[in-house]
Structures are given as C-alpha cells and as structure tokens.
Amino acid sequence: MEEPQRRIRAAHSESTVTVYQAYSPEIGLPAVRDGRFPAVWKRDRMTWIKPSFLWMMYRCGWGAKAGQETVLAVEITREGFEWALRHACLSSYAREVHPDRATWQRRLKHAPARVQWDPERDLRLRPLPYRSLQLGLSGEAARRYADEWTVGIRDVTPLAHEIRALVAAGDLDSAAGLLPREPPYPDGDELLAHLRG
C-alpha cells in the first residue's frame, strides 16, 4: 500500500506518544536519570520533537554529531501532543492554507507550536518519497512539554549504535527488526486539518 505524502507515524500507546530528541550528555544523561529535563534545558527556546526514529537518526548522525551524542526517546501524553498539533501553525507559508503571507506570519508569531514536514528516511538515511512530522514547541508549549507532558525519558543511544552497526555490516533485515514500530497516529488527519488547504 502506498504511503500518503504526509502522515503522522509514531510509537504510541492509549495514553502516550514517543518522540525523539538528541542532546549533549550534559543535558541528556540527567534527563534520563531523573525522568525530566534538567534546569539547564532552556524552556524559553524553540525545541523540535520528532516522532520518527529514523529521521532523528538522520538529524543526529546516529548520535555521532557534536552536541547530539545522547539520543532520547521521550514519552509524552497524547493529550499534550494533540494540544500542540491543534495549536500549531505551518513553519513555512503555504498558499493553499493561508490567505496571504502576512496572515501566515501573524499566525506563526503567536502559535506555540510549528509543524514542518521533512522527507522520511530509510535505514541508510536516504530520503523517501513521503514525509514525516517535526513539531516545534515554543513558549507555553515548550514549558508544558518539559514540565507537564513528559512522563518518561529513555536513552536509546545504544539502540542507535546497534542499528547503525548492522546497517554498516549490510544486515538490513536485522537492523529493521530493531526499529521502533511507528504505525499511523490515530486521528492524525483530523488533528492537522487546519493546516491543509
């Protein structure tokens, strides 16, 4: 079955959804230890969360890029995730969604969340013909993400390294078997309806 161009795919349970971020050990390791982001994590900055494990691997180079050596799986409430989606604005102007560029800029300025669609990646981190969600959180959304929505933080750096080694060895089947399962997110289309033309 052919994948739609844009769809939220994410590991999720009845009450939570898993998103990924990568940080330096100074932020990532205390976050894992305490199950919450440390005080040095800047709550007044935009932070981007990614439901796609492979897109995160592309972004952080399998946890090898400087400042992104600790790859986190952050489990957040579905209620929080969906609040962010409902309050989001597209990160770039789309003629079919916004009446004009000025309207989009006003919405973007006041929106606590931003939606960006980037090409999904395969195991070799090559772009696929369909896109995955990135969700940018700022202001109220970033604070709520860090202090209310987060219910668990796991270090998945060893998993990233294991999958990368299997890919490097050409064992794509074993690598694929270790990937987190990311089925379509329930009601994803409905949650994003205000961002479509």
Is the model's pLDDT at 193 over the cut of 90? no
Is the model's pLDDT at 1 over the cut of 70? no
Q: What is the pTM of this model?
A: 0.93
Band of pLDDT at residue 2, cut at 50, 70 and 90: confident
Query: What pLDDT is stored for residue 106 in this prediction?
Result: 81
- Is residue 113 within 8 A of residue 88, CB to CB? The reply is yes
Neighbours of 78 (CB within 10 A): 18
Q: pLDDT (tens digit, 9 = 90+) per residue, 8-60?
A: 999 999 999 999 999 999 999 999 999 999 989 988 899 999 999 999 999 99
Residue 52 backbone phi and psi in degrees, to 5: -90, 115
DSSP conformational letter for 94: -
Q: pLDDT (tens digit, 9 = 90+) per residue, 100-144?
A: 778 788 887 889 999 999 999 999 999 999 999 999 999 999 999
> Chain-wide mean pLDDT for the chain?
93
Reference 136, options 166, 158, 108; nearest CA is 108
